Amino acid sequence: MTLKVYLCGEIHTDWREQIITGSKAAGLDIKFSSAVTIHEASDAAGDCLGQEQNGFWRDHKSAKINAIRTKTLIEQCDLAVIRFGEQYKQWNAAFDAGYCAALNKPYITLHSEALIHPLKEVDGSAQAWATTPEQVVEILAYLLSDQLS
C-alpha cells in the first residue's frame, strides 16, 4: 500500500518539509504532492499567455492554470492534509477542503487552536484535526502500519 498524500495550504512555513522529512525518517511509503508553492511563480502562472492591465484577469488566468494541477492532484490523492496558518485569508485551502468533501476524499486539517471557531465547517468534514506536523506523521505511520503480508 502506497499512500498518495496531497499537501495543501500555507506556504510561509516549512510544514510540508517537516511532514516529508518525518515520513522518510519513519520509512513510510508515501508519494507527496502539492500545488506550486513558490508564491511569485504561482501568481505569474498565466503571464506567459499575455500581459493583462486588469489585476482581476491576471489573477484569473494564473488561478485557472494552477487549478489544472491542483484538481488533478486532489482527484488522484488518497488523502489531503490541509494547513491553515494564523495569517492571510487562505481561501484556496478552504476551497480545496470543500472540493475534497464533495468528492468524498478524506482530508486532515492542520492548524492551531486559535483557528478552531472560524474553521468549524472545514473541520466538520475532515477526518482529523492536527496541530503539529509531527501528529500528521504519526497518523500517516499508523495508516500504513499492520499490513497483511
Q: Which of residues 5-64 bind a copy of itself (CB under 8 A)?
A: 7, 16, 20, 32-34, 36-38, 41, 45-46, 48-50, 52-57, 59-64
**What's the CA gap between 8 and 33, in Å, rounded?**
9
Q: Could you give the residue ranges of the DSSP H alpha helices within 4-106?
A: 15-25, 39-43, 55-76, 91-102
Q: Among 79, 81, 83, 133, which residue sits at the site for a copy of itself (rule: CB under 8 A)?
A: 79
Q: Which is nearer to a copy of itself, 28 or 66 (CB)?
A: 66
Q: Among 9, 15, 123, 133, which residue sits at the site for a copy of itself (rule: CB under 8 A)?
A: 123
**What's the CA gap between 119 and 63, in Å, rounded?**
23
Virtual torsion, Cα 139, 143, 144, 149, nearest 10 deg: 150
Least separation in angstroms between residue 107's CB and a copy of itself is 9
Least separation in angstroms between residue 7's CB and a copy of itself is 7
Contact by Cβ (8 Å): 72, 81:
no
69 binds a copy of itself (CB under 8 A): yes
